[in-house]
Amino acid sequence: MHIGDRIKQLRLSKLMTQSDLAGTQITRNMLSSIEHGTALPSLPTAIYLAGRLNVPVGYLLAEEESEFFYRKMTGMPNIRRAFAERDYAGCLSLLDSLGDGQDDELSLLRAECEYGLARDAFEKGRLRLAVAALDRAYKATDNTVYELGWLRERIAVCHRYLSSLSGTLVSDVLDAEEIENACALGDFWVEYIMALDALENGHPEAAATYTERHAGTMYAARLSALLQMQQEDYVGAQAALESLLARDELTFGVLLYEVFGDLEYCYRKNDDYKRAYEFSGSRLGILERLLEEI
């Protein structure tokens, strides 16, 4: 990219007019000539313009192969800030703004951001978006030298769980064996899934450990109710689930869908077939919304 094109691109990205950028040191006509490539700035002028644009002068003078380095250097403070604030969509947008260039650090950030985006989508009940973000995260793990086997395992665990909710929620990049055999620990989402897997496979101690470690959370409350159901205490489980259902923080999403299914089962076991039927119908309505194309 010609130095004039680079100056113009930066100026426009900062919503500056030519008069804004020219200031008092050069004329607007001179700046226009520089941007159109009919004049080259002297070194003092290049330093002045770089200062006005808040970029290193080296970025303006860089050869094409060095341009990505300067874009990254100027963009990383905002990228790190967005990542620290868990603004994964904003962080990904900033990564995209760097252009086609990539390196190991940026690929690592992209993989973690896509995984974070998948968790956020899951929490909001947007399951197809979650599946797509998990696949993008998995692809990003192949573009860095950093060891990200731990993240690939988490992604596979999450895919297994989502596919158990609906056969239409499938990965485009992981094979069935990798998903089936995945085993990982890490954030609340993966640990919850692994606790469910353990409970279904006859190992209630893992679920009990989760409820102790995350006592007070909605996921721990649901697991506690499942443990009661496994012990055939359907009256106690029903009461626990109704208490969970009354919590303000339980909003639309997968957990609500699961709680409705648990309550349907408990009501049947407690011979309240009318309520079981009501929750069965409501549960199907939730699933339809969870599977909507966004």
* Of 152, 151, 176, the residue nearest 163 (C-alpha): 176
pLDDT of residue 152: 93
> In this structure, what DSSP letter does residue 168 have?
T
Instruction: Identify each DSSP E strand in the chain by its residue range.
Output: none
Across the 294 residues of the chain, what is the mean pLDDT of every consecutive 10-residue run? Answer: 85 91 93 92 90 83 68 84 95 87 86 96 94 96 89 94 94 91 84 93 92 93 96 97 95 95 97 96 94 80
User: CB-based burial of residue 116 (10 Å sphere; 0-12 exposed, 13-18 middle, 19+ buried)?
Assistant: buried
pLDDT of residue 101: 64
How far is it, in rounded angstroms, from Cα 84 to Cα 51? 28
**Residue 27: how many other CB atoms lie within 10 Å:** 12
pLDDT at 63: 65
What is the length of the chain? 294
What does DSSP assign to residue 99? -
Residue 3, pLDDT score: 87
pLDDT at 185: 77
SS3 for 38? coil
Q: Which two tokens stand for residue 265?
A: 């089962």
By CB neighbour count within 10 A (0-12 exposed, 13-18 middle, 19+ buried), where does 115 fall?
A: buried
pTM of this structure:
0.75
**Helices vs. strands in the chain: H and E counts, helices first:** 17, 0
pLDDT of residue 81: 94
The per-residue pLDDT for 115 is 96
